[in-house]
Structure 1
Amino acid sequence: MAVGDSTNFQDLFKKSVLHLEAFRNVSYIDVIIGLAVAFGLGLFIFYIYRKTFRGVVYSYNYNVTFVLMTMLTALIIMTISTNIVLSLGMVGALSIVRFRTAVKDPLDTIYMFWAVSAGIATGAKLYPVAIIGSAAVGLAMIWLSRRKVREQPYLLIIRHSESATDSVREHIRKLNYHLKSKTVRKDFTELTLELRLRDDNTAFVSELSDVEGVVDVALINYTGDYAQ
């Protein structure tokens, strides 16, 4: 039994190397349909990423790569599925590829895997899996992003003189905050507070800035990527 299996594998390997008959039976309609589905799924990922983006700077070029990544992955799967030699060669080629671009947000990595997964399913002609799976992931992303919007973290930076210490404490006592840092210098004191706001009511910033002895007040949306 083992000898027969070995012979069958050798015959299949020789057929893949010498004849490449699979390429003669390529259906161009299937290729066009596969690329069209991959393009549609890539646009869907593009829309979800733009809709749910909560980072500091939105990059259009980075978002476009999800569309192209889905199509290219589908194209690769279509190619290697026709020949075992190409499959082995593609694995070796991809193993030496190194991407040097740093991904700052871990959520961006999820979008990359999503694009690759949709491309693999599309290239394998598993269209229901690709479409239903992408729809489920997209709905999950939207639902999770809306829950995050309800309460966003902010950094409140207050720079004030020594005479305004008691007044500033009286104002910030009304806020639900965590002290991140406190810098004391000869001329002023700088406080960095972490707040979580559920709405856009930022009237307290103007109230703090009107306090006598307060030099400046800054409210920054904090995503964990930077801090001042």
Structure 2
Amino acid sequence: MIELLEPFAQGGAFEWRRALVSLLLAFGLGQAIALVYMATFRGLSYSRSTVHGMAMGSVITCMLMLAVGNSIAAGIGIAGGLSAIRFRTSLREPRDIIFIFAALGVGMASGAQAYGAAILGTAIFGAGFGLLHFTGYGARRQPDGLLRFTAPAGPEAEQAIARILRSHCRTFALVTLREAAQGTVMEHAYQISVQSPALRSPLVTSLQAVPGVQDVALLLQEPTLDL
């Protein structure tokens, strides 16, 4: 029994302590990156397995770095073993790939005992992504939605519609204007940006109050949702 346990005692207490600290640090920093991902995620394709992959991928990478150490032969052997593994999961968003890569980088730094780089790298990475998220960096102003309705042909209805659009919308652009009912009715389609979300319902109500205006529909498109 003692002979079986002898290989575990060859590394000494310092090596065991170093491995424990490295693995725990990798796990904690991997979870920190996963928390930043969850806090800044916007869209519909949220995957819990991706978050788990970030949290545990850093531990696996750290373990491999500890196993390799300064041995070139061990590094080549592990690289050959990993090349035989084929990952079938495809990440649609470049942002997801960056977070996975950050978790692996944290694991590498922890396994190499570069604790300062691992901690500061995680802090700056999280702060940078938080800053980009909450400041809306890279976002472009898009129309709030598509407004569609039918109105009687004639200058009176057109003037009333234009007056309502000017009072409720920041911008509006006519997309489609088509005849219907043998030219007595016109189908309108506008791309609009309302002055505030609270004016969406009053806009629809005001258009419905115009004589002859029917089938008013406001199709919203939220730019924050990634389908």
TM superposition score normalised by structure 2: 0.72
CA apart distance, 1:48: 0.9
Structure 2 Cα separation of the partners of residues 43 and 52 of structure 1: 14
TM superposition score normalised by structure 1: 0.72
Match runs of 1:98-117 below 5 Å: 98-117=86-105
State yes or no: 1:175 paired with 2:176: no
Counterpart in 2 of 1:32?
Answer: 20
Counterpart in 2 of 1:69?
Answer: 57
The CA RMSD over aligned residues, in Å, is 3.4
Gap runs ≥5 in structure 2: 1-6, 209-213
CA apart distance, 1:190: 7.0
CA apart distance, 1:46: 1.6
Q: One-letter code of the match for 1:90? A: I
Out of 123, 145, 148, which is 2:133 matched to? 145
Q: Deviations over 1:31-87 (max 9, x none)?
A: 211111011101211211111112234333322221011111111111122533221
Q: In 2 relative to 1, CA 127–215 (structure 1 residues): closer, same or farther, beyond 3 Å?
A: same
Gap runs ≥5 in structure 1: 1-20
Q: In 2 relative to 1, CA 72–163 (structure 1 residues): closer, same or farther, beyond 3 Å?
A: farther
Q: In 2 relative to 1, CA 191–148 (structure 1 residues): closer, same or farther, beyond 3 Å?
A: farther
Counterpart in 1 of 2:32?
Answer: 44
Q: In 2 relative to 1, CA 113–192 (structure 1 residues): closer, same or farther, beyond 3 Å?
A: farther
Q: In 2 relative to 1, CA 157–119 (structure 1 residues): closer, same or farther, beyond 3 Å?
A: same
Between structure 1 and structure 2, the one with the greater Rg is: 2
Count of aligned pairs: 201
8 A Cα contact 2:170 2:192, kept in partner: no
Out of 110, 126, 131, which is 1:122 matched to? 110
Q: In 2 relative to 1, CA 76–194 (structure 1 residues): closer, same or farther, beyond 3 Å?
A: farther
Q: Which range moves more in the overlay, 104-113 or 142-151?
A: 142-151
8 A Cα contact 1:157 1:218, kept in partner: yes
Q: In 2 relative to 1, CA 225–89 (structure 1 residues): closer, same or farther, beyond 3 Å?
A: same
8 A Cα contact 1:159 1:214, kept in partner: yes
Q: Percent identity?
A: 25
Q: One-letter code of the match for 1:161? A: T
CA apart distance, 1:168: 5.1
CA apart distance, 1:157: 2.5
Counterpart in 2 of 1:159?
Answer: 148
Structure 1 Cα separation of the partners of residues 68 and 172 of structure 2: 56
Q: Which range moves more in the overlay, 184-193 or 45-54?
A: 184-193
Q: Helix, strand or coil: the match of 1:221?
A: coil
Q: In 2 relative to 1, CA 65–194 (structure 1 residues): closer, same or farther, beyond 3 Å?
A: farther
Q: In 2 relative to 1, CA 195–29 (structure 1 residues): closer, same or farther, beyond 3 Å?
A: farther
Structure 2 Cα separation of the partners of residues 202 and 111 of structure 1: 33
CA apart distance, 1:204: 2.3
Counterpart in 2 of 1:18?
Answer: none
Q: Deviations over 1:101-154 (max 9, x none)?
A: 232222112111111111110111111100011101111111111111897756
